[in-house]
Amino acid sequence: MNEIVSIQLDGNELKVELGRTILDVCREAGVDLPVMCYLEGLSVVGACRLCVVEIEGSPRLFPACTTPVAANQAIRTQTEKLKRYRRMIVELFFAERNHVCAVCVANNACELQDLARRVGMDHVRFPYLFPECGVDASHPHAVLDHNRCILCTRCVRVCDEVEGAHTWDVMGRGHASRVIADFNEPWGSSTTCTSCGKCVQVCPTGALWPKAASMGNLRKEPGKIGELVAKRKLNA
Amino acid sequence: MRKKLATVWLGGCSGCHMSFLDLDERLLEIAQWADVVKSPVVDQKEFPEVDVVLVEGAVVNAEHEEEIVLMRRRSRVLVAFGDCAVTANVPSMRNAWPKEVVLRRSYLEVPGTVEGRVPTEEVAALIDRVRPLHELVKVDFFLPGCPPSADLIYYVLTELLHDRVPVLDEARLKFG
């Protein structure tokens, strides 16, 4: 057991164990921070920046998922500035690829769509990029649609860390980055993919979806990964 | 004071207008507060001065580009009505390619086409990129949804026609 220290979370005094992250502590205290790249059971990358918080005494914002608690931290999670930034982040997700909820298999079962309503996004203020994005339907069971990918890399991490196959990775830089199978081959001809389907389950949008699903009956169970990891004691 | 209401159909599927008609008997209520002076269901060519205009659809062609500017000038409150108006939505799915490629694909290369021709007369010329309304004019209120439900339209119109600002909270705000 680590040392116990005091912190302030949105004005409330808390005793917490050193070595834990701010996100962990928030969740335990019932403070609901929005997340996209974070998924229980997977390594933490701090990529999406949705869980940013303010720490008194520092001008910069900290991703709660990667920042450990420290003694006497005064953390704010719901300031106007944070809300403004979170909405901007969500708008940038929508502007970067072609997210057309109306014709998406994940309509009404999408973490990005839910997040948009949660941060009060009524429109996107940034110019849409409208990139040309491919759709890889070569796998017998599932489809990868780059139009809907937000590069959270949950699929990459679950494939590597839980399944152990490391079929997925990311190629390119910035907004030209794309998730690829093996050495950028059609997913269906991947020699490493075990067709376990974990990537599909953890994908927060309609970027990875089972061919058996149609709009209205898609259900994903990203929570299963945390359970699986706990049972296998992978992160012990 | 009775208000003047307009509804306009740009580059969309008319689904938002169908949802508007789904107001059913509540249309009579709306009619007590406002005259519908311009709409696909009203025989009025010129766009008049109005208090509120619901604009369905994205800006897809050269005619839309002119119309939206005129509507903005003549409307007190301009509402981006539905996902196409707010995000460019399905019509924008052609934006990743030059319009020439899209026209060729649609009119010449589609399987089953015999001696196809890209239309150049009678129909408005496509613009290079389909755009949401707020890229061209100031939008006063965004009403997403594909389509927005009749209940939501009723709520927003009721507020606007009584000079109040509607609020889209988490329960009311939804794309798709």
Residue of A nearest to B170 (CA): A117
Q: Is the pLDDT of residue B140 over 90?
A: yes
Start-to-end CA span in chain B (Å): 35
Q: Is the pLDDT of residue A215 over 90?
A: no
% of chain A at pLDDT higher than 70: 99
Q: Does A3 touch chain B (CB under 8 A)?
A: no
Average pLDDT over residues B132-153: 98
What is the DSSP secondary-structure string of A195-235? Answer: ---HHHHH-SSSSEEETT--TT-----THHHHHHHHHHTTT
Taking the C-alpha atoms of residue A212 and residue A217, their distance in angstroms, rounded to an integer, is 9
Q: Is the pLDDT of residue A235 over 80?
A: no
Taking one residue from A and the other from B, the number of pairs with CB-CB distance under 8 angstroms is 68
* pLDDT reported for residue A236: 58
Average pLDDT over residues A122-131: 97
Q: Chain A: nearest CA to B102, how far in angstroms?
A: 13
Taking the C-alpha atoms of residue A75 and residue A7, their distance in angstroms, rounded to an integer, is 8
* pLDDT reported for residue B1: 84
Domain boundaries, chain A: 6-78, 84-228
Each residue of B72-116: pLDDT tens digit? Answer: 999 999 999 999 999 999 999 999 999 999 999 999 999 999 999
% of chain B at pLDDT higher than 70: 100
Structure tokens at B62: 């050269």
> Are B170 and A132 a contacting pair at CB < 8 A?
no
Average pLDDT over residues B13-30: 97
What is the DSSP secondary-structure string of A107-121? Answer: TTS-HHHHHHHHTT-
Residue of A128, A135, A205 for testing the chain B interface, max B β-carbons within 10 Å:
A128
Report the sign of the C-alpha dihedral through residues A38, A44, A47, A50, in that order: positive
Each residue of A144-203: pLDDT tens digit? Answer: 999 999 999 999 999 999 999 999 999 999 999 999 999 999 999 999 999 999 999 999
CATH topology of domain A6-78: Ubiquitin-like (UB roll) (3.10.20)
Instruction: Specify whether domain A84-228 bears CATH 3.40.50.300.
Output: no
> Are A132 and B132 a contacting pair at CB < 8 A?
no
Q: Chain A: nearest CA to B56, how far in angstroms?
A: 15
What is the DSSP secondary-structure string of chain A? Answer: -PPEEEEEETTEEEEEETT-BHHHHHHHTT-----SS--TTS-----S-TTEEEETT-SSEEETTTPBP-TT-EEESS-HHHHHHHHHHHHHHHHHTT--GGG-TTTTS-HHHHHHHHTT-SS--SPP------EE--SSSEEEEGGG-----HHHHIIIIIIS---EEEESSGGG-EEEETTTB-GGG-SS-----HHHHH-SSSSEEETT--TT-----THHHHHHHHHHTTT-
Amino acid at position A139, single letter: H
Nearest-CB residue to A117 (from B96, B97, B170):
B170
Q: Chain B: nearest CA to A179, how far in angstroms?
A: 19
The dotted CATH code for B3-92+126-161 is 3.40.50.700
Domain boundaries, chain B: 3-92+126-161
Backbone angles phi, psi at B102, to 5 degrees: -65, -45
Tokens 């830089």 belong to residue = A173
Q: What is the largest CA-CA distance in chain B?
A: 58
Q: Chain B: nearest CA to A33, how far in angstroms?
A: 16
Each residue of A32-43: pLDDT tens digit? Answer: 999 999 999 999
> Are B144 and A122 a contacting pair at CB < 8 A?
yes
* pLDDT reported for residue A1: 75
Which residues of chain B have a CB within 8 Å of the CB of A102? 83, 89-90, 146, 175-176
Which residues of chain B have a CB within 8 Å of the CB of A128? 87-88, 92, 95, 132
Which residues of chain A have a CB within 8 Å of the CB of B170? 117-118, 120
Q: Chain A: nearest CA to B43, how far in angstroms?
A: 31
Amino acid at position A161, single letter: E
* pLDDT reported for residue B165: 97
Which residues of chain A have a CB within 8 Å of the CB of B87? 94, 100, 123-124, 128
Residue of B nearest to A121 (CA): B173
Taking the C-alpha atoms of residue A49 and residue A33, their distance in angstroms, rounded to an integer, is 11
**Average pLDDT over chain A, rounded to an integer:** 96
Structure tokens at A59: 């001008």
* pLDDT reported for residue A233: 81
